[in-house]
Amino acid sequence: MAFAGRHPLLSLALAGITLALIYNEIAGRLSGYRRLGPAQLTALINRDNALVVDLRPIADFDKGHIAGSKNVQMSQFDPENKQLAPAKALPVVLVCKAGESADGAAKRLRKAGFTNVNVLEGGIQAWQSADLPLVKGRG
């Protein structure tokens, strides 16, 4: 209380940041999909045979992607895609460059009935920052 009395602007800023963090956490939980870090994604791939869908342009995909991932470009993204439709019951993880473009795709998958939808938080950049391997080419 003494701090708040002596530093009203800092106290107000702290309260604002706290409310923003709480809002962000609640919004994330209500979105219907989870945000995963690179280590969580690795565990999901190894444990549950997750389908990893890379939404980046084909040129970026060819330069380096997560092993076993499928490339479906955002311009052609369709939840009824032949690569996606059979995976409705499997965990699906969407990957983009920085983790932002995948949100819209995740919402579309949830709306189409996919039950286990995930987004790699930070995208392929987070994967690389964690020093995890990438595969080059279409393989």
SS3 call for 72:
coil
Catalytic residue among 96, 109, 117, 119: 96
Counting Cβ atoms within 10 Å, is residue 80 exposed (0-12), middle (13-18) or buried (19+)? exposed
Phi, psi at 98, each rounded to 5°: -125, 5
Active-site residue, 137 included: no
Phi, psi dihedral angles at 119 (to 5 degrees)? -125, 135
Task: Point out the residues that are catalytic.
Answer: 96
